[in-house]
Chain A
Amino acid sequence: MAHAPAVAHGGGHTTSTGTENRKLLMWIFLGSECLFFGSLIATYLVFKHQVIERGIGPFPVDVTIDGVSHHGILDIPLTSTSTFVLLMSSVTMVLAVYGAQHARMKMMKLGLLATMVLGLTFLGFQVYEFRTFGHEGLNLTTNLFGATFFVLTGFHGTHVGVGVLYLGSMLAASFRRNGLGRDTGAHVEIAGLYWHFVDIVWIVIFTVLYLIP
């Protein structure tokens, strides 16, 4: 195993494994996040059939109960669009990281800005979706589909929001005289890890909630 010299001062420069401390921190943190979203998704799966059994709508997908057919509330085309938007934000994030690592500050700033805009667009879709569902009679308390749906997607949305704030703060800081400082590349890369994670989680949520009947 690792034999590298490790004379670490506070922040730590050389490390036993060669991976930078902050990056390692982010990776492990994301491991924790997996269990967070895993538990929320598990709750959704536990209650998935429960709404249909109890017959209290609105329902996620088209169902027929006692001969009456009910319209599914989930709008797959709309959400596919917002999913696509979020996917694109990962691309712009990659550009930002590339810019940061190759000292192309303009590219980095543009990348960050674009990622934020796409993230906000995604949030906009989500707000729209939540409101529409509200009008159609689905809110947190209507039934367990409502509860699990809003809590799960709501917490994902919160993560996107935190991400936007994170990138925004970084963008703002990058306009200071010495920008993000010596470690610009690492800073943006770590933010990128977070952003990609949030993105991948959405793919999972989208698949579980919207695509799997």
Chain B
Amino acid sequence: MATVAGTLAQPTHTGVWSWITTVDHKRIGVLYGVSGFSFFLWGGLLALLMRTQLAVPNGTVIESDRFSQLFTMHALTMIFLAIMPMGAGFFNYMIPLMIGARDVAFPRLNALSYWTFLGGASILSLSFFFEAPGGGWFNYAPLSERPYSDGSGIDFYVVGLLTLGLSSLMAALNFAVTIINLRAPGMTMMRMPVFVWMTFVISVLLILALPPLTVGLIQLLFDRQFGTHFFIATEGGDPLLWQHIFWVFGHPEVYILILPAMGIVSEVLPTFSRKPLFGYPAVVFSGIAIAVLSWVVWSHHMFTTGMGSVPRAVFAVNTMIIGVPTGIKVFNWLATLYGGSIRFTTAMYFAVAFIATFTIGGISGVMHASPPVDSQHQDTYFVVAHLHYVLFGGAIMGIFAGIYYWFPKMTGRFLSEALGRWHFWLLFIGMNMTFFPMHFLGIAGMPRRIYTYDDGLDWGFWNMFATIGSYVIAVSLLIFLVNFFRSVRQEPTAEANPWNAPTLEWGTSSPPPEHDFDAIYTVRARDPLWYDRDHGIAPPEVTGEHIHMPPPSYYPILIAIGITLLGVGALSHLAVSALGGVIAYYGVWGWALEPTD
């Protein structure tokens, strides 16, 4: 592990300790990426168990409560421990490079975000050793309340998500400041790569969306631990309040998951079409429009809760309108292909497949935006099909495009294109086999979150089909793993800009030196490297002046341990919390007094 990770960031100092104390954004990016991908495999394994149980009617592989834990942990793992950190991995590694900076604004805060993430992820995942949460990822009250879920599962959920939220908040603050403040000379907002724009939008969404979730979790925690009744109807509370709070967070959250992929695709398509992104301002502004609209659609998850017709009408209209800016993006991506000279690398395959599969998910999304139609979709496999097309067909496809695209930059090595082709086609076929039939199952009336179903309902065939598909996905991922481990063992061969890409991260060596750039670029256009190439502008002179980089620090991990213990205390004994508080406070002192110059 250390060797693989070592190859990835070409450290100047080696050893485990250097990784623990690192404040280098590239190494933190690698940590995020590797952790996220490992959790992706774990979450996928949970899904395979579910698919195995559902392959035939009246399956007997997994019993009821365990199955609930599986779909809950599958979704939590995929969303919070796989896609978000893999996105964060790319932000960390790429944002400073893409804006021509030497690091993020707060390198130590960056490390703290990562270690806090790892703490929260451990709390959530280790719940399997005690009792895993089993209320679904949105964990509706009052099922999540003490009288109906007496075990510790929901407490793990609450504490885990609170910790993860804190980590995301810190990361988001860091990236917002970095993007606002650390751009290279000449890099105006409208010259930023789309990926940077999307990261900025995501940061803002996170900063605003996490607090409502935090409040909801705190209220649930109080209900469970201190006897309040925020969500208990018999005592005057309101179960729907939880739903509102959760989805006020939850809907922006789904765009937090998709926007990194959209950013990646907006980088990959132009590079391999050999022409600039079509309609850059339109793509950027529709990204912003999506983010704004994401705040006024949350109740489309609650169409069947008995809301009045007028609010449902308003939320339906708002939701459908989101199709417009998203459509603009899709059309601009397609127009980027138009007139190009497309080189079909594996990254490009994934990016083009993203357009297709994400659109399928988007279309089914717009279908459930109609409340009468949704009354037949909600909580059926039609929704499961939708969410996997946007999350797997969208976010995961985009992330794989990013992996193949940036792998040479991060490691100096190439992933094999031949294996990549196998990986892509098997993944693509497998995912469509798994998730497309779920539309049929939904229309045939199959509810989601059922661990068993009867024979004679006509669901058996497509379930078996989907299960086979999920194993095809698994095979494709094994091929990817082979590809990955083979590549990192090879000698580095990648030059600085192997794809002939336009953005700044390709203007430094592969992998980049610790200080990112020997000399800072001056940006003259939206596609700086192409502009410089076409205008015969040489890369900036290296002045040879000393470049100061922040020294490593172990305070981030210390504080993260403190924060994690604070959470663990809420699950076990308050003395642990107190200890955690003391450690965290001590860490903050050390942090504040530690010299960084």
Q: Of A7, A16, A47, A151, which is in contact with the most chain B CB atoms at under 10 Å from its CB?
A: A16
For B445, list chain A residues within 8 Å (CB). Answer: none
Question: Are B185 and A3 touching (Cβ within 8 A)?
Answer: yes
Expressed in whole angstroms, the minimum distance between the Cβ of A204 and any Cβ of chain B is: 15
B2 at the interface (CB under 8 A from A): no
Q: Of B174, B177, B210, B235, which is in contact with the most chain A CB atoms at under 10 Å from its CB?
A: B177
Question: Are B236 and A6 touching (Cβ within 8 A)?
Answer: no
Question: Are B222 and A140 touching (Cβ within 8 A)?
Answer: yes
For A17, list chain B residues within 8 Å (CB). Answer: 180-181
Residue from B180, B235, B592 within 8 A of A169 (CB atoms):
B592
Number of interface residues of A (CB under 8 A): 49
Interface of A, secondary structure class, is helix
For A38, list chain B residues within 8 Å (CB). Answer: 211
Question: Are B181 and A8 touching (Cβ within 8 A)?
Answer: yes
| CB contact under 8 A between A16 and B182, given known A2-B188, A21-B105 | yes
B574 at the interface (CB under 8 A from A): no
Expressed in whole angstroms, the minimum distance between the Cβ of B590 and any Cβ of chain A is: 12
For B216, list chain A residues within 8 Å (CB). Answer: 39
Residue from A8, A40, A144 within 8 A of B229 (CB atoms):
A144
Stretch of A24-32, A80-88, A121-129, A195-203 at the chain-chain interface = A24-32
For B105, list chain A residues within 8 Å (CB). Answer: 8, 12, 21, 25
A120 at the interface (CB under 8 A from B): no
A54 at the interface (CB under 8 A from B): yes
Residue from B23, B208, B222, B235 within 8 A of A32 (CB atoms):
B208
Question: Are B226 and A141 touching (Cβ within 8 A)?
Answer: yes
Residue from A7, A21, A22, A151 within 8 A of B520 (CB atoms):
A7
Task: Give the tally of cross-chain contacts (CB within 8 A).
Answer: 146
Q: How far is the CA of A31 from the CA of B180 in the complex (A)?
A: 16
Q: How far is the CA of A141 from the CA of B238 in the complex (A)?
A: 15
CB interface residues, A 1-20, toward B, < 8 Å? 1-12, 15-17, 19
Expressed in whole angstroms, the minimum distance between the Cβ of B203 and any Cβ of chain A is: 9
For A151, list chain B residues within 8 Å (CB). Answer: 218-219, 222, 228
| CB contact under 8 A between A173 and B229, given known A3-B185, A28-B177, A144-B237 | no
A175 at the interface (CB under 8 A from B): no
| CB contact under 8 A between A147 and B211, given known A6-B182, A8-B105 | no
CB nearest neighbor in B for A36: B211
B593 at the interface (CB under 8 A from A): yes
CB interface residues, A 132-177, toward B, < 8 Å? 140-141, 143-144, 146-148, 151, 155, 165, 169, 173
Question: Are A1 and B188 touching (Cβ within 8 A)?
Answer: yes
CB nearest neighbor in B for A46: B241
Stretch of B274-282, B302-310, B344-352, B544-552 at the chain-chain interface = B544-552
Question: Are A35 and B211 touching (Cβ within 8 A)?
Answer: yes
Question: Are A147 and B228 touching (Cβ within 8 A)?
Answer: yes
Question: Are A143 and B236 touching (Cβ within 8 A)?
Answer: yes
CB nearest neighbor in B for A23: B177
The size bracket of the interface on B is 35 or more
For A62, list chain B residues within 8 Å (CB). Answer: none
Expressed in whole angstroms, the minimum distance between the Cβ of B29 and any Cβ of chain A is: 16
B484 at the interface (CB under 8 A from A): no
A33 at the interface (CB under 8 A from B): yes
A207 at the interface (CB under 8 A from B): no
Question: Are A10 and B101 touching (Cβ within 8 A)?
Answer: no
Question: Are A147 and B222 touching (Cβ within 8 A)?
Answer: yes
| CB contact under 8 A between A9 and B547, given known A32-B169, A140-B222 | yes
A64 at the interface (CB under 8 A from B): no
Expressed in whole angstroms, the minimum distance between the Cβ of A61 and any Cβ of chain B is: 18
CB nearest neighbor in B for A187: B592
CB interface residues, B 171-217, toward A, < 8 Å? 173-174, 176-177, 180-190, 207-208, 210-212, 214-216
Interface string of A96-115 (1 = CB under 8 A from B): 00000000000000000000
For A54, list chain B residues within 8 Å (CB). Answer: 236
Q: Of A7, A22, A31, which is in contact with the most chain B CB atoms at under 10 Å from its CB?
A: A7
For A33, list chain B residues within 8 Å (CB). Answer: 211
Expressed in whole angstroms, the minimum distance between the Cβ of B548 and any Cβ of chain A is: 5
Residue from A10, A16, A31 within 8 A of B102 (CB atoms):
A10
Q: How far is the CA of A186 from the CA of B115 in the complex (A)?
A: 28
Question: Are B215 and A16 touching (Cβ within 8 A)?
Answer: no
Residue from B23, B103, B212, B237 within 8 A of A39 (CB atoms):
B212
Question: Are B181 and A43 touching (Cβ within 8 A)?
Answer: no
Question: Are B186 and A3 touching (Cβ within 8 A)?
Answer: yes
Expressed in whole angstroms, the minimum distance between the Cβ of A57 and any Cβ of chain B is: 13
Question: Are A32 and B102 touching (Cβ within 8 A)?
Answer: no
B106 at the interface (CB under 8 A from A): yes
Q: Of B23, B181, B597, which is in contact with the most chain A CB atoms at under 10 Å from its CB?
A: B181
CB interface residues, B 207-266, toward A, < 8 Å? 207-208, 210-212, 214-216, 218-219, 222, 226-230, 235-238, 241, 245
Question: Are B190 and A1 touching (Cβ within 8 A)?
Answer: yes
Question: Are B181 and A6 touching (Cβ within 8 A)?
Answer: yes
CB nearest neighbor in A for B228: A147
Question: Are A43 and B182 touching (Cβ within 8 A)?
Answer: no
Question: Are B107 and A10 touching (Cβ within 8 A)?
Answer: yes
B461 at the interface (CB under 8 A from A): no
Residue from A3, A10, A43 within 8 A of B241 (CB atoms):
A43
Interface string of B79-114 (1 = CB under 8 A from A): 000000000000000000000011101110000000
Residue from B186, B208, B229, B230 within 8 A of A31 (CB atoms):
B208
| CB contact under 8 A between A16 and B208, given known A8-B105, A140-B222 | no
Expressed in whole angstroms, the minimum distance between the Cβ of A205 and any Cβ of chain B is: 14
Question: Are B173 and A16 touching (Cβ within 8 A)?
Answer: no
For B222, list chain A residues within 8 Å (CB). Answer: 140, 147, 151
B58 at the interface (CB under 8 A from A): no
B338 at the interface (CB under 8 A from A): no
Nearest first, the 10 closest Cβ-Cβ pairs linking A and B are A10-B550, A15-B181, A36-B211, A147-B228, A35-B211, A39-B215, A141-B227, A8-B182, A1-B188, A21-B105
Residue pairs across A and B with Cβ atoms less than 8 A apart, 17 shown, are A3-B188, A6-B183, A6-B185, A7-B185, A9-B549, A10-B103, A21-B106, A21-B181, A29-B207, A31-B207, A32-B208, A32-B210, A51-B236, A141-B228, A143-B236, A144-B228, A144-B236
Q: A35-B212, A47-B236, A169-B589 are in contact. List 15 more A-B contacts (CB 8 A).
A: A1-B189, A5-B185, A12-B182, A15-B181, A16-B181, A16-B182, A21-B181, A24-B181, A25-B105, A28-B176, A36-B215, A54-B236, A140-B222, A151-B228, A155-B218
